[in-house]
Amino acid sequence: MTKQLAKLAQDLWIRWLLGLALIASLALLLLNQINLQLTLVIVVAIGFTYLLLLGRKTGAVIKAQQELTASTQAISQLTVQALELSQNILTEMRATRETQAVPYVVLSLEVHDQIVHLVMENLGQVVARQIALEWQPLPDQALINGREWAHFVTGTTPTLAPRQRLVCVLGTYPAVYAHPARQSRYQVTVRYRGANDDVQFQGTDILDFNSLAGMESLALQQGQQMIAKLDQINLSLEGTLRLLQQSHSQIVNQLGDMARTFETTVAAANSTQKHVVNSLEDITKVVAGTMETVNMTQDQLTQGMVAIAANRHETEKQSPEQAMMLFKLLVKRLDMGWRKMQEWPANEQSSPNVYLQRQMVQWARDLVAVAPGLPAAEVVSERASSIALKLISALDGGTPNATLPAAVTVTPILEELTEIARTFPEAEESFLL
């Protein structure tokens, strides 16, 4: 900008000088100070100088026009490049929009808390329709202990919303991984449609069980070994309890026979009768004490199993199978305890009903603690907890040392708990959560 102003000022000075020179020459000619020829020479020189000045201005204008033309061409090239870039951006945006407007269904294996899950999920942004899986080969049903496969595994799924997951539980990790019917890998072709039913998508997923190797934790193995030992102790105690019950029944029968025998001679030997009655009471107290000791030992075992399940670290928490085992064991204890309470005379001071009633209340509380971990729907767990609470209320409502709790209240509650316990499998089986 400064250079342009300098050139403009210089051109103005030259024009003023040329104009003054022309005026001065004309004035001298009029005053007869110079002749006409000299005046013509001066005028010609001034005109030539002015022409040179115009020529330089014309060259500057031409140069400016050339620079303007070059700038225009550069702007045109930049415009073309901008158009090409815009076209590329639009193409990428269109491709991205088309990619986001289609479903994307995948099949995978997942392990959660030592349970192997087969998961089908829609990772796309739109609903997937008419999803079908083509297995090569289809896993044997023996892998899930003969149960039927979930519908999405062998059938056609009508719709699968974005981020929706369908889960099929295969079983515990050790059982599935060591199962002889398991193959190392399965190839699955997933076919499905999007919003436009005319377009079908498909993808191939590989389910590799070998990739799950080494996921069994040492803590789980130790916990299972501990549970196995507790099971052995429980079986031993059950055998001992059965023997004691048989001995108890034999003693009761013998005592009954002895009582009847001594009743025939009560008129003749009152002193002997009193002695025999005292002996029978002593024997009854000994038997009741023995039964109480056995029940206390069995209760300590159950409490130990409940404590192990409740205090276990989060990463080593009880499995659903363990919760199911504890639940069934506690229900069996309650049923046996209630039968014993009904067999013993209620009004005798030597009766173990007082202890059994207190023990059954504790078992019912253990049921409330175990119920949330059962391998069943939430409504079943809540129902088991509610029934156990009703049992606690019914047992606490009974008056100790006097009468039994009302059978019309306790018996139906125990039948409901037994019905829930029968819904769980007897052997170790995989099950849906």
Q: Could you state, in order of their start, the residue ranges of all structural domains in the chain?
A: 2-99, 105-212, 218-422
Give the model's confidence band at 373: pLDDT under 50 very low, under 70 low, under 90 confident, else very high. confident
Q: Which has the minimum average pLDDT: 137-141, 226-230, 322-326?
A: 226-230
Q: How far is CA 256 from CA 250, 252, 280, 282, 369, in A?
A: 10, 6, 10, 15, 42
At residue 132, the pLDDT reads 92
Give the model's confidence band at 384: pLDDT under 50 very low, under 70 low, under 90 confident, else very high. confident
At residue 250, the pLDDT reads 81
Average pLDDT rounded to a whole number, residues 112-127: 88
For residue 93, pLDDT over 60 is answered with: yes
Per the CB < 8 A criterion, the answer to whether 172 and 133 are in contact is no
Residue 138 DSSP one-character state: P
Long-range contacts of 256-262 (CB under 8 A, 24+ apart): none
At residue 375, the pLDDT reads 83
At residue 267, the pLDDT reads 58
At residue 173, the pLDDT reads 81
For residue 305, pLDDT over 60 is answered with: no
Q: Which has the minimum average pLDDT: 117-121, 202-206, 313-317?
A: 313-317
Of 214-218, 223-227, 296-300, give the range with the top mean pLDDT. 223-227
At residue 165, the pLDDT reads 92
Of 20-24, 296-300, 365-369, 392-396, give the range with the top mean pLDDT. 365-369
Give the model's confidence band at 314: pLDDT under 50 very low, under 70 low, under 90 confident, else very high. very low
Give the model's confidence band at 211: pLDDT under 50 very low, under 70 low, under 90 confident, else very high. confident
Give the model's confidence band at 34: pLDDT under 50 very low, under 70 low, under 90 confident, else very high. low
At residue 342, the pLDDT reads 80
CA 415 to mean position of chain CA atoms: 35
At residue 131, the pLDDT reads 92
Give the model's confidence band at 164: pLDDT under 50 very low, under 70 low, under 90 confident, else very high. very high
Give the model's confidence band at 49: pLDDT under 50 very low, under 70 low, under 90 confident, else very high. confident
Give the model's confidence band at 403: pLDDT under 50 very low, under 70 low, under 90 confident, else very high. low
Q: Which has the minimum average pLDDT: 19-28, 70-79, 101-110, 170-179?
A: 19-28
At residue 167, the pLDDT reads 92
Of 195-204, 241-250, 322-331, give the range with the top mean pLDDT. 322-331
Mean pLDDT, the chain, whole residue set: 76
At residue 68, the pLDDT reads 85
Distance (Å, whole) CA 174 – CA 398: 47
For residue 316, pLDDT over 50 is answered with: no
At residue 402, the pLDDT reads 47
For residue 294, pLDDT over 80 is answered with: no
For residue 29, pLDDT over 90 is answered with: no
Each residue's pLDDT tens digit, 128-155: 899 999 998 888 888 888 888 889 998 9
More confident residue, 296 or 71: 71
Per the CB < 8 A criterion, the answer to whether 187 and 209 are in contact is no
Long-range contacts of 377-385 (CB under 8 A, 24+ apart): 380/420, 380/423, 383/420, 384/327, 384/417, 384/420
Identity of the residue numbered 304: G
More confident residue, 408 or 351: 408
For residue 300, pLDDT over 60 is answered with: no
**Tokens coding 254:** 């013998």
At residue 266, the pLDDT reads 61
At residue 219, the pLDDT reads 45
Average pLDDT rounded to a whole number, residues 202-207: 88
Task: Quickly name the fold that domain 105-212 has.
Answer: Immunoglobulin-like (2.60.40)
More confident residue, 315 or 277: 277
Long-range contacts of 104-109 (CB under 8 A, 24+ apart): 104/128, 104/201, 104/203, 105/131, 105/160, 105/190, 105/192, 105/201, 105/203, 106/190, 106/203, 106/205, 107/133, 107/188, 107/190, 107/205, 107/207, 108/205, 108/207, 109/207, 109/208, 109/209, 109/211, 109/212
